[in-house]
């Protein structure tokens, strides 16, 4: 099972991706998590990405593609994967196709979570509040200003991927505003 989760920030890609990873026993690969880990250890990639992430922009294609290429070459990813937050540009989507093509592989499908953007801001505020309640540090980019920039980045660079994958016949569009369990069930049904 090789899936891509598509949708704006706060759409539920992480939550649903995690559930799918468990269901299909494949790793969930989140480029946001990879980059946050790099920022934490102050690696060269982390140092290059930090200010861009803090302001809600997109980290350069080459850097992100390099991270994904390395991660996909690891043993556990040979069974399949759920990509969460990648690709985010057409260049990344083409690079992913080429990477898979080189091993004669294709994506199984692309799950697009359709959401009401008005409600996303509330979801992000809730996610930040939940992190605080658990005694965790909220994500630096989970605040209304950065969220607006992240949504703008999504509209400018990522939304076109719906068409890209629709044209490939791989797009599965799911109503992401329903209750979490219902969204999971709808995704599994769409995949069956
Ligand atoms: P996420 O956790 O997916 O919301 O990602 C958090 C931040 O990491 C994004 O706002 C971007 O700055 C950066 N990022 C994550 N994935 C990518 C990607 N595929 N391309 C460019 N930047 C990314």
Instruction: Give the pLDDT score at 156.
Output: 95
> Is position 19 annotated as part of the catalytic site?
no
Look at 90 and 56; give whichever has higher pLDDT: 90
Q: What is the pLDDT of residue 148?
A: 87
H or E stretch covering 6: strand 2-6
**Section 85-99 average pLDDT:** 98
**φ and ψ at residue 114, rounded to 5 degrees:** -90, 125
Q: Is beta strand 81-84 parallel, antiparallel or unpaired with respect to 2-6?
A: parallel
58 C-alpha to ligand 1 centroid (Å): 6
DSSP three-state, residue 5: strand
Alpha-carbon distance 174 to 13, whole Å?
Answer: 11
pLDDT cut 90: percent of the chain above it: 83
- Residues whose CB falls within 8 Å of the CB of residue 32, separated by 6 or more in sequence, listed in order: 84, 85
Place of tokens 């540009």: 89
| pLDDT tens string 42-89 | 999 999 999 999 999 999 999 999 999 999 999 999 999 999 999 999
- Centre of ligand 1 from the C-alpha of residue 31, in Å: 6
Between the CA of 176 and the centroid of ligand 1 the distance, in Å, is: 20
Which listed residue (13, 19, 50, 71) is catalytic?
A: 13
Annotated active-site residue 88? The verdict is: yes
- Has 150 been annotated as catalytic? yes
Which has more confidence, 125 or 30?
A: 30
Residues touching ligand 1 (Cβ under 6 Å) are 9, 31-32, 35, 52-53, 56-59, 64, 85-86, 88, 92, 141, 150
Query: 2-191 adopts what CATH topology?
Result: Rossmann fold (3.40.50)
Dihedral angle computed from the Cα positions of residues 114, 88, 69 and 139, in that order, rounded to the nearest 10 degrees: -80
Residue-level pLDDT at 155: 94
Distance 28 CA to ligand 1 centre (A): 15
Q: Output the CA torsion sign for 13, 113, 154, 2.
A: positive
Q: Give the model confidence (pLDDT) of 129-167 as tens digits.
A: 898 899 988 877 778 788 889 999 999 999 999 999 999
Q: Whose CA is nearest to atom 15 of ligand 1?
A: 32
pLDDT at 126: 84
In DSSP terms, which residues pair with 175 in a beta bridge? Answer: 114
- Ligand 1 atom with the shortest distance to the CA of 53: 12
How many Å apart are CA 161 and CA 70, to the nearest integer?
23
Distance of CA 147 to the CA centre of its chain: 15
Q: Are 183 and 174 in contact (CB under 8 A)?
A: yes
Strands (E), 61-134: 81-84, 109-114
């Amino acid at each position: 099972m090789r899936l891509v989760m598509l949708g704006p920030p706060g759409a539920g890609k992480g939550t649903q991706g995690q559930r799918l990873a468990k269901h299909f026993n494949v790793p969930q690969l989140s480029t946001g998590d990879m980059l946050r880990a790099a920022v934490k250890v102050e690696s060269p990639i982390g140092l290059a990405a930090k200010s861009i992430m803090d302001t809600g922009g997109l980290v350069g294609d080459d850097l992100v593609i390099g991270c994904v290429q390395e991660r996909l070459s690891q043993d556990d990813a040979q069974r399949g994967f759920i990509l969460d937050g990648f690709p985010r540009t057409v260049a990344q989507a083409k690079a992913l196709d080429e990477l898979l093509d080189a091993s004669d592989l294709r994506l199984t499908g692309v799950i697009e979570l359709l959401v009401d953007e008005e409600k996303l801001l509330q979801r992000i505020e809730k996610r930040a509040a939940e992190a605080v309640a658990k005694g965790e540090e909220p994500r630096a980019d989970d605040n209304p200003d950065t969220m607006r920039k992240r949504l703008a980045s999504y509209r400018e660079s990522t939304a076109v991927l719906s068409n890209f994958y629709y044209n490939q016949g791989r797009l599965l569009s799911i109503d992401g505003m329903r209750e979490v369990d219902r969204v999971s069930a709808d995704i599994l049904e769409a995949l069956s």
